[in-house]
């Protein structure tokens, strides 16, 4: 049985793995266009408000940002290793690595929750009276910060759901060593989540 099509004894089953991969790559391309447009918007506003963006960035916690960066990089490695484990017929290890990926993703969201909570506590959120008093430039910075990191967090949640869905299929032997394209697609999506954050981190946290 090849990885590109499958014929089972209880009936003919056609599996278009190449089409599935192409569909995922096209989806990833549209996501890159979306965030690429946001990065351009960010660049324009930052160019117009360089001092304000610098001052606003000082309110972000670089340590938490760095920890979250490491978390996502490690999670990209674990999801990639889960694919290799399944290819090598090690179902238990593949599931374990997917669970680790999910735990790391949840840890990222927990860190982001506390980070956002601190910003709300100090009145550094769009519409807050304190933030309004800091000027238009810092308002723009924090609007982009919440919008772009919030959109990224949404992608993290979607990616977790995708991994959980695929993991259940692996547990039920619906995905095996010769039928792992859906897990590969989940891995591709998760790498996209990691890649986006790698750009977001220096744009917001490392201005200074």
Domain that holds residue 55: 15-205
Q: Do 7 and 1 meet the contact criterion of CB atoms below 8 Å apart?
A: yes
Q: Per the domain annotation, does 2 fall within a domain?
A: no
In a domain? residue 34: yes
Mean pLDDT of the chain: 91
Asked if residues 60 and 204 have their Cβ atoms less than 8 Å apart, the reply is: yes
| pLDDT of amino acid 9 | 38
- For residue 204, pLDDT over 50 is answered with yes
- Whether 84 maps to a domain, the answer reads yes
Report yes or no on 4 lying in a domain: no
For residue 5, tell me if it sits in a domain: no
Residue 10: pLDDT over 80: no
What average pLDDT does the segment 136-141 reach? 94
In a domain, 9, yes or no: no
pLDDT score, position 26: 93
Question: Environment class of residue 192 by beta-carbon count within 10 Å: exposed (0-12), middle (13-18) or buried (19+)?
Answer: buried
How many angstroms separate the Cα of 115 from the Cα of each of 53, 119, 172, 197, 208? 18, 7, 38, 15, 19
Question: Is residue 186, in this structure, part of any structural domain at all?
Answer: yes
* Terminal alpha carbon distance of the chain: 55
Question: Total domain count for the chain?
Answer: 1
- Residue 1: inside a domain: no
CATH code, 78: 1.20.120.80
pLDDT digits (tens, 9 = 90+) for 28-54: 999 999 999 999 999 999 999 999 999
What angle is formed at CA 173 by the lines to CA 168 and CA 179, rounded to 5 degrees? 100
pLDDT band of residue 207 (cuts 50, 70, 90) is confident
pLDDT at 4: 43
């Amino acid at each position: 049985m090849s990885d590109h099509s499958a014929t089972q004894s209880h009936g003919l089953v056609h599996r278009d793995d190449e089409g599935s991969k192409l569909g995922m790559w096209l989806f990833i391309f549209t996501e890159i266009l979306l965030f690429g447009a946001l990065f351009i918007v960010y660049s324009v506003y930052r160019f117009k408000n360089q001092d304000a963006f610098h001052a606003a960035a000082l309110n972000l916690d670089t340590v938490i940002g760095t920890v979250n960066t490491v978390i996502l990089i490690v999670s990209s490695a674990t999801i990639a290793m889960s694919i290799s484990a399944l290819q090598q017929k090690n179902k238990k290890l593949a599931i374990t690595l997917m669970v680790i990926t999910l735990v790391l993703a949840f840890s990222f969201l927990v860190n982001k929750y506390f980070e956002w909570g601190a910003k709300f506590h100090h009145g550094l959120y769009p519409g807050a009276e304190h933030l309004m008093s800091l000027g238009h430039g810092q308002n723009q910075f924090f609007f982009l910060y919440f919008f772009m990191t919030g959109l990224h967090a949404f992608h993290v949640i979607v990616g977790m759901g995708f991994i959980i869905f695929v993991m259940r299929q692996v547990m039920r032997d619906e995905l095996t060593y010769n039928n792992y394209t859906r897990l590969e697609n989940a891995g591709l999506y998760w790498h996209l989540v990691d890649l986006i954050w790698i750009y977001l981190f220096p744009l917001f946290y490392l201005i200074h």
